[in-house]
Structure 1
Amino acid sequence: MKKDNKKVIYWLLTGCLLIFIMVIVGGITRLTHSGLSMSNYKLISGTIPPMNEVEWNEAFELYKKYPEYQKINNQFTLEDFKSIYFWEWFHRVIGRFIGIVFIIPFIYFLIRKQLSKPTIKKALILMLLGGFQGFLGWFMVKSGLIDRPDVSHYRLAMHLTTAFITFAYTFWVALDLIYPNKKVIDLKFRNLVRWGLVILLIQIIYGAFVAGLDAGLLHNHWPLMNDGALIHESVYIEQSPTIMNFIEGKSGVQFVHRYLAYLVVGIILFIWYKSKRLEKTKMQSKALNLLLIIVGIQFLLGVFTLIYRVPIALGVLHQVVAFFLLGAMTFSLHRFSK
């Protein structure tokens, strides 16, 4: 039986699609402030939501014991609670479903001997990433259940970035099977694309910082931060030492995210420009053109999301296009790698 056949490719691409959906739902969960509505973690029984009024009241009473209700949502009715509970429950159910979609076909392909040794090793790495992602989800939620009504932006960044990396690696493994032959035309150019990927991942981390700190709700001006100021004074006065403002301060985090966006656009433009001097395949040219188009769309979305103070639709769309941008960067790097 042929190893690494089309069924294996479809399995991997299905995993990519499910991770994509999970990130969208995760974005909605964050923007609707629904992430702390499920205050306990039950791997199996937690898959089934409350089914009657008694169970809903039990879940609501549990929610009342934690800081988010006590400090922010103490005016909530049961109906209000149900609306935020749905998104967090849906987010967790998708996570469990992804685990099933990865594990069961993997076992099937192993039994049927349809996976080559390199693909088995890569699939095991994917399993580890998926398990780690699940742990980080609970680790993140736990940070908002102790003494503060919000999750740690560090843990949020870990959770989101791991999801993006898991998607990128799954996509890469699928691409290895779709395009077994690669053409390295210039090692320096390949390394330039690698640096572009690194900078993009740092920007994704800072995007999570902005989301975790609600830093998009201030300095809603562009291109300057506020009333003609290139850097708003609160970047420097929020915390001491000053460097912490660029990691934990809302103004500082937004400042870094803004100017990293210029850097991401700049390096992708530079990659595209440098590629003009190379003899490329059609697929390599398409990959770089797609990358250029998506980064332009993402930059504009970032500007409008900021100006309109992060409405849910724009916030989710901005995260969705970030996903496409990472996919395009991964595809471009794959086309120029050994």
Structure 2
Amino acid sequence: MTSFLKDGRSRPVALWLFATAFLVFAMVVVGGATRLTGSGLSITQWKPVTGALPPLSEHAWQENFRLYQATPQYRLINRGMSLGDFKFIYWWEWSHRLLGRLLGAVFAVPFVVFLALRRLPARLVWRCVVLFALGGLQGLVGWWMVKSGLEARVTVAPERLATHLGLALILFCALVWTGLEAWSGQARVGGRRQDGWSIAGAALMAAVYVQCLLGALVAGNQAGLVDNDWPLMNGRVFPDDYAGAGAWQTFAHSQAAVQFNHRLMAYAVLVAAGLLAVRAIRARYLSGTLRSLFAGLLLAVLFQASLGIATLMTGVPLWLAILHQAGAVLVLTVSVILAWRARRA
């Protein structure tokens, strides 16, 4: 164990970080389901500690329902819903927040234990502190997002949804990357560097991340419910209603624009992944692991693109939309592992 810590390697720490990353993945999926079921605005207060308990009496349920009835979403969309229907959407949002609290505990408790036992590699301590801070910030950003839907909107602001998802994915990527560092230890000095492949891996990871953010804008604008043909959009190559009232309204709030941008980025990622996979397979001097990762990323992108097309053309059914969101995180996972491995090559 001592030698492992000296070279920055700790398999127990790596497993802890991977388990935490899995919980972030679960949060993204549950968060997507919460949004798709229209449940995200059902809890109108942010109580980090006492909010861990759900309503425990009929009076408490009625009080929470009364608070929800004061929101624009209830007045304009869900007016007349029953208490039973409210409980359905409440449990989705409560589960999402409970998972966030569980995530915080799963990270914080082992972190303190590893520090106390001196089982955390010194070079990873500051990274874990940053990871903990990112987790806390994510809770604040989540409430900032929810507030945008409690004032003058019936849904959360798309740009705030993209920020919330984007921060979650940064946390996820950092957990996976740090877990890989803990599993493998410090990189060995010397050997033949492949800087070109390292840059290519990092660029692919960044492109996949940006595509996830564009997908969040599609979700936030419910843009998957329009222009449900493919490869055209409402029968046209370029949608007639692309432009909004200004550059920002177009980029962040035009349904046609956000869907078109998401499609274009998908094509770009697919082409880049394909070209790099072909080059990597032909580059016999690369390790078999790295060549397999490039090929695996291409297959993951192809599968995710197929899911996206199917989700769009079938009118965004709940199960397929959740699968598409989960697929995006899986593609991002492969891209992170590829970028990390290319940097070590």
Q: TM-score by structure 2 length?
A: 0.94
Match of 1:165 among 160, 165, 170: 170
In structure 1, distance between residues paired with 2:169 and 2:206? 12
Match of 1:232 among 218, 234, 239: 239
In structure 1, distance between residues paired with 2:60 and 2:104? 27
SS of corresponding position for 2:127: helix
Instruction: Please name the residue that 2:111 is paired with.
Output: 106
Matched, 1:316 2:335: no
State the one-letter code of the partner of 2:77: I
Deviations 1:275-305 (A, max 9, x none): 1225122221222222111111001000001
Distance 1:157 1:184, change over 3 A: farther
Deviation at 1:191, TM superposition (A): 0.8
SS of corresponding position for 1:144: helix
Match of 2:227 among 209, 219, 244: 219
State the one-letter code of the partner of 1:224: L
Instruction: Please name the residue that 1:284 is paired with.
Output: 290
Distance 1:244 1:59, change over 3 A: closer
Tell whether the 8 Å contact from 2:20 to 2:106 is kept in structure 1 after alignment. yes
Matched, 1:144 2:152: no
In structure 1, distance between residues paired with 2:29 and 2:290? 28
Deviations 1:152-175 (A, max 9, x none): 111100101111111111000011
Tell whether the 8 Å contact from 1:213 to 1:250 is kept in structure 2 after alignment. yes
Tell whether the 8 Å contact from 2:277 to 2:291 is kept in structure 1 after alignment. no
Match of 1:7 among 9, 12, 26: 12
Instruction: Please name the residue that 1:297 is paired with.
Output: 303
In structure 1, distance between residues paired with 2:283 and 2:46? 55
Matched, 1:132 2:137: yes
SS of corresponding position for 1:337: helix
Instruction: Please name the residue that 2:78 is paired with.
Output: 73
Aligned residue pairs: how many? 335
In structure 1, distance between residues paired with 2:320 and 2:134? 29
In structure 1, distance between residues paired with 2:27 and 2:215? 17
CA RMSD, 1 decimal: 1.4
Tell whether the 8 Å contact from 1:137 to 1:159 is kept in structure 2 after alignment. yes
In structure 1, distance between residues paired with 2:245 and 2:67? 37
In structure 2, distance between residues paired with 1:261 and 1:247? 17
**Superposition map of 1:55-66 within 5 A:** 55-66=60-71
In structure 2, distance between residues paired with 1:334 and 1:101? 24
Unaligned residue ranges in structure 2 (runs of 5+): none
Tell whether the 8 Å contact from 1:184 to 1:336 is kept in structure 2 after alignment. no
In structure 1, distance between residues paired with 2:229 and 2:264? 14
Misfit runs of 4+, over 4 Å: 182-185
Tell whether the 8 Å contact from 2:10 to 2:121 is kept in structure 1 after alignment. no
State the one-letter code of the partner of 1:170: L
Q: Which deviates the most, 80-89 or 63-72? A: 63-72
In structure 2, distance between residues paired with 1:110 and 1:243? 46
Q: Which deviates the most, 319-328 or 284-293? A: 284-293
In structure 2, distance between residues paired with 1:15 and 1:128? 14
Instruction: Please name the residue that 1:191 is paired with.
Output: 199
SS of corresponding position for 2:237: coil
Instruction: Please name the residue that 2:160 is paired with.
Output: 155
In structure 1, distance between residues paired with 2:296 and 2:180? 16
State the one-letter code of the partner of 1:77: S
Match of 2:99 among 75, 86, 94: 94
Q: Which deviates the most, 192-201 or 251-260? A: 192-201
SS of corresponding position for 1:9: helix
Matched, 1:19 2:24: yes
SS of corresponding position for 2:343: coil
Deviation at 1:6, TM superposition (A): 2.2
**Superposition map of 1:196-215 within 5 A:** 196-215=204-223
Deviation at 1:53, TM superposition (A): 1.3
Deviations 1:173-227 (A, max 9, x none): 0111222346764211211221112211111111000000000000000010112
